[in-house]
């Protein structure tokens, strides 16, 4: 198949879109990615990229065409501009670069939902069937992220989102809990399929001895709890740092933060204001392929989200990555993410936005001892093998794309 991968986020940004494109190529398909100029998560263009530099690139056989982009920046205004510019610019880019269309388009959607408008435009122009992969539920995600309160605006957004959802041939959802949130817009259940995240093959269990080059970046004593990924408002660093404050007497506890994002500087200030600057180690952003080597030096991995109803429906991508590497997990999550951690026996899950509960879970993980943590680690990898292997997930995706391309859009 000729696949048009439509998403604001692609290489060199670190998203599962990269692994998906690579895998579809391996399976014999052509992939043309239509993305933004890379600017996530810092909100500014990556070095060497701009609206005049590297707009066209071939990466490992994937042709990338980058649409004109307004960088996310650090304000709500710049984020809205980023959201609204892409579908228009991407549509224009596809009209120029995909003159003969594609067999199917795959719209990979962490926020915003507006990305799908580019897929709809391609369908109008060339008849290309459209498959969505929904990672964030809209309009709720937008009303929370942008702080929208005006009833008229929220109502208009609600109607627009429903219209967009109904235009898809197939909608794939990253969590079973998303189903009713999509079906409420009049999308029939036989057009909704589940496609959870997987983790790239580079995510595998490693021992510290197998990743010696990273030992200098991470304390080699005490108990090391590691958070990896985007540092944004949604990740609730207020609760993480409040839990650390409750555990300040545990001077053997290190908080290792691998990643960056819009809330990073505020999180650093908050740690400093709480007298915890020496406990938190903000290491910055590194290539995704290095993550298993970082994880090798952690005693447990941390995943957190704020207590927001729509977040309770989601399973953060990092959970699959942590599980693939066979690591014990501490989760400060509501809903599906916490349920999976508990069901898998991979660690402890506590309600979101409760610092005391998180602090207690961390103490419990420390006190459990090495043997119990090894059991949690084994359970994590076993659950990944049973539910989230790349072969299973990518096979399901390939079948959905083929069904859409052939007009077989019913589950």
Consecutive H or E run containing 411? none
Using CB atoms within 10 Å of the CB of residue 77, give its burial: 0 to 12 exposed, 13 to 18 middle, 19+ buried: exposed
Question: What is the C-alpha separation between 319 and 302, in angstroms, rounded?
Answer: 9
Q: How confident is the model at residue 394 (pLDDT cuts 50, 70, 90)?
A: very high
8 Å CB contact between 182 and 171: yes
Q: What is the mean pLDDT of residues 283-306?
A: 95
Question: Is 209 exposed, middle or buried (CB count within 10 Å of its CB: 0-12, 13-18, 19+)?
Answer: exposed
Does the pLDDT value for residue 217 go beyond 60? yes
> Which neighbouring-strand residues pair with 32?
4, 63
DSSP string, 247-300: TTT-TTEEEEEE---TTHHHHHHHHHHTT-TTTEEEEE---GGGHHHHHTT-SE
State the pLDDT confidence band at 144, using cuts at 50, 70 and 90. Answer: confident
Length of the chain measured in residues: 411
Rounded to an integer, what distance in angstroms lies between the CA atom of residue 227 and that of residue 238?
A: 14
Euclidean distance between CA atoms 397 and 17, whole angstroms? 12
Q: How far apart, in whole angstroms, are the C-alpha atoms of residue 345 and residue 335?
A: 16
**Is the predicted pLDDT of residue 291 greater than 90, yes or no?**
yes
Give the closest residue to 298 by CA, choosing from 269, 329, 277. Answer: 329
Position 99 scores a pLDDT of 75
**Using CA atoms, how far apart are residues 285 and 295, in angstroms rounded to an integer?**
14
What is the model's pTM? 0.84
Domains and CATH numbers, the chain: 2-198+389-405 (3.40.50.2000), 208-387 (3.40.50.2000)
Q: Among residues of the chain, what percentage have pLDDT more than 90?
A: 86
Residue 154 or residue 88, greater confidence: 88
């Amino acid at each position: 198949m000729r696949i048009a991968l439509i998403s604001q986020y692609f290489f060199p940004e670190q998203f599962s879109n990269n692994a998906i494109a690579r895998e579809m190529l391996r399976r014999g398909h052509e992939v043309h990615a239509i993305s933004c100029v890379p600017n996530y998560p810092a909100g500014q263009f990556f070095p060497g990229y701009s609206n005049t530099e590297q707009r066209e690139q071939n990466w490992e056989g994937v042709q990338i065409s980058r649409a004109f982009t307004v960088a996310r920046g650090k304000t709500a205004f710049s984020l809205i501009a980023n959201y609204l510019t892409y579908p228009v610019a991407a549509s224009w880019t596809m009209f120029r670069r995909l003159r003969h269309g594609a067999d199917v388009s795959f719209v990979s959607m962490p926020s915003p939902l507006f990305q799908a408008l580019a897929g709809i435009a391609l369908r109008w122009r060339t008849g290309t069937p459209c498959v969505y992969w929904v990672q964030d539920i809209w309009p709720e995600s937008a009303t929370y992220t942008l702080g929208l309160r005006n009833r008229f605006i929220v109502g208009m957004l609600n109607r627009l989102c429903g219209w967009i959802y109904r235009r898809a041939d197939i909608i794939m959802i990253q969590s079973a809990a998303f189903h009713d949130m999509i079906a409420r817009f009049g999308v029939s259940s036989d057009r909704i399929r589940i496609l959870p995240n997987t983790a790239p093959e580079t995510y595998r269990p490693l021992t510290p001895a197998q990743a010696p080059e990273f030992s200098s970046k991470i304390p080699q004593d005490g108990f090391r709890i590691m958070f990896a990924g985007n540092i944004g408002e949604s990740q609730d660093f207020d609760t993480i740092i409040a839990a650390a404050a409750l555990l300040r007497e545990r001077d053997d506890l290190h908080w290792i933060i691998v990643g960056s994002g819009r809330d990073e500087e505020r999180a650093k200030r908050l740690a400093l204001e709480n007298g915890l600057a020496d406990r938190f180690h903000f290491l910055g952003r590194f290539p995704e392929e290095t993550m298993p080597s970082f994880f090798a030096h952690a005693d447990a991995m941390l995943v957190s989200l704020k207590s927001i109803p729509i977040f309770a429906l989601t399973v953060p991508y990092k959970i699959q990555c942590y599980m693939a590497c066979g690591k014990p997990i501490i989760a400060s999550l509501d809903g599906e993410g916490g349920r999976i951690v508990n069901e898998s026996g991979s660690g402890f899950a506590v309600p979101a936005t409760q610092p005391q509960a998180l602090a207690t879970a961390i103490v419990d993980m420390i006190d459990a001892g090495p043997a119990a943590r090894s059991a949690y680690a084994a359970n994590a990898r076993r659950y990944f093998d049973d539910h989230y292997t790349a072969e299973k997930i990518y096979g399901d995706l390939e079948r959905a794309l083929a069904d859409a391309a052939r007009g077989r859009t019913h589950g």
